Amino acid sequence: MAAQRKTVTLLEVNSTIRNMKLPAKGVLVSRAAEITQELQQGVPKPFKAVISVHFGDGHAMGMKPITFIRQVMAACFYPELLDSEQLPDDVRSRAKIQLQKCDGGSIGSYCDSSGLLHVRQSVSRYIERRDGGVPCDPGDIYITGGAQRALQLVLKMLVHSEGHSKTGVLVPVPSYIRFNNAVEEQGGVMLPYHLSEEQSWELEIEELQRALRTARGQKCSPRVLYVINPGNPTGQVQSRKSIEEVIRFAAEEKLFLMADEVYQDNVFGDDCEFLSYKKVLFEMGPEYFHSVELTSFNSISKGFAGECGFRCGYLEFVNLDPQVRRYAQQVNSVECCPPTPGQIILDTLMNPPLPGEPSYPSFTAERQASLDTLAHNARLAERTLNSVPGISYVPVQAAMYCFPRIHMPSRAVQRAQAQGLAPDLFYCLRLLEETGVAAGPGSDLGQREGTHHIRFCILIPTEKLQVVLSSLKSFHLKFTQEFS
């Protein structure tokens, strides 16, 4: 036996895994961590702290949790608090009910692989209210450890890399990167369709058609269409007409629709409103409603609560073949079960305090404050970004990101290429070094050839956003000057 000789070398790693693209942003994230350490060690820098806005995580940036939710959770964890004066009455009665629904009265017990039954029921009633009465069966709801896991579950079932008929998945450009990684992980073929930045990031049907045609050359069989509405990173909200077109396209081309609607509660643009794919599908009549296969996704990580760390999301299947559903159940059960704390938070969000209950005023005020901050921040960002020469920006209507286009001097592009870096990553790294702001490069999310973007999160305390925006503005002017 030769020491040091490994059994598993790179060659033995599953080839679909080996073919995955690593997000380039990794370099940036590591560098941000190093800089934080350097600051702690007293290394002088032109800024006091790193501000990480390359991901959508309000809590990490100082947004406050919703008190009611956290109080319910505290009592569920430590039931002696059920008798404590320190918690409002409605919190205690809520927590009692939650505990009664858990096996053995403990949130520490396993639950069914598709989630706690009462939570699935709450979700289905919530969806019915949201969609003005369109029926929703709790049996079609699967609760998962985050929306990302729900996306993975569906891909696992439908996408494969066997033989000549690899599964083709239509994905937007730009997109939510972990979705793309999940497609790669399953060995699927990505069929990118570009959203139109010129048309305020709209989804254009001709572009979907073009993308589908390219599949023919790729020995793959296109089967899934992924849409993100409201958009990440674009912040665009689809109109009813646009959703109808997409549904008709899916019906004609026999595509399984995956509608990622995790930002449904983060819509703040004037004259726009979130319409679920399911509601629109229903209103298109039985011919569509009983045939088009749709799965939609939601998450407690987004909305006004932003509870990312608890990992809880859900999906709803519409029109899934019952035989196929059996397998969904099965694949899901391999994972054991979703974490309970997130499920109880989800249940609480689906059943907020009612008028007259002690926690109603604070809950309502905190929810509004979170949504107001987001809307306010979006306007603030728009004003600043529109005032910077060399940055063009489509104002966002929803979600929690800005995705401005950065016009980079060609000397800067050359310098980046000489260093083997995507130009916008080069830009982001410089921005980080000089201002402490960690934004994400558009090249990770996808963008039209030759264009460059950055993405940053705006669901952060307004004071921090002001620092981000002014840092970006002065950095951009300096950067442009340096490379002109």
Handedness of CA 416, 420, 423, 427 (dihedral sign): negative
Neighbours of 448 (CB within 10 A): 15
Shortest reach from residue 55's CB to its own copies, in Å: 7
Nearer of residues 59 and 407 to its own copies, judged by Cβ: 59
159 binds, among its own copies, ligand PLP, none (CB under 5 to 8 A by kind): its own copies
| Contacting range for ligand PLP; rule: CB under 6 A; set: 90-98, 146-154, 218-226, 418-426 | 146-154
Nearer of residues 152 and 359 to ligand PLP, judged by Cβ: 152
Q: Binding of ligand PLP at residue 308 (CB under 6 A)?
A: yes
- Spatial strand order of the sheet with 440-441 comes to 401-402, 454-457, 440-441
Shortest reach from residue 147's CB to ligand PLP, in Å: 3
- Spatial strand order of the sheet with 189-194 comes to 141-144, 313-318, 294-299, 256-260, 220-228, 166-173, 189-194
Nearer of residues 220 and 459 to ligand PLP, judged by Cβ: 459
Residues 54-73 within binding reach of ligand PLP (CB under 6 A)? 56
Percent helix / strand / coil, the chain, rounded to 5: 50, 15, 40
Nearer of residues 134 and 459 to its own copies, judged by Cβ: 459
Q: What is the DSSP annotation of 137-168?
A: -GGGEEEESSHHHHHHHHHHHH----TT-EEE
Q: Binding of ligand PLP at residue 176 (CB under 6 A)?
A: yes
What is the Cα–Cα distance from 278 to 295, expressed in whole angstroms?
9
Residues 229-258 within binding reach of ligand PLP (CB under 6 A)? 232
Q: What is the dihedral of CA 180, 186, 190, 193, to 10 degrees?
A: -50
262 binds, among ligand PLP, its own copies, none (CB under 5 to 8 A by kind): ligand PLP
Residue in 63, 157, 158, 262 binding ligand PLP, rule: CB under 6 A: 262
Beta-bridge mates of residue 259: 227, 296
- Chain center to CA of 64: 19
57 binds, among ligand PLP, its own copies, none (CB under 5 to 8 A by kind): its own copies
Shortest reach from residue 308's CB to ligand PLP, in Å: 5
Shortest reach from residue 14's CB to its own copies, in Å: 4
260 binds, among ligand PLP, its own copies, none (CB under 5 to 8 A by kind): ligand PLP
- Regarding beta strands 294-299 and 437-438, do their DSSP bridges make them parallel or antiparallel, or are they unpaired? unpaired
Amino acid identity, position 14:
N
Binding region for ligand PLP (CB under 6 A): 56, 146-148, 176, 228, 232, 260, 262, 299, 301, 308, 313, 336
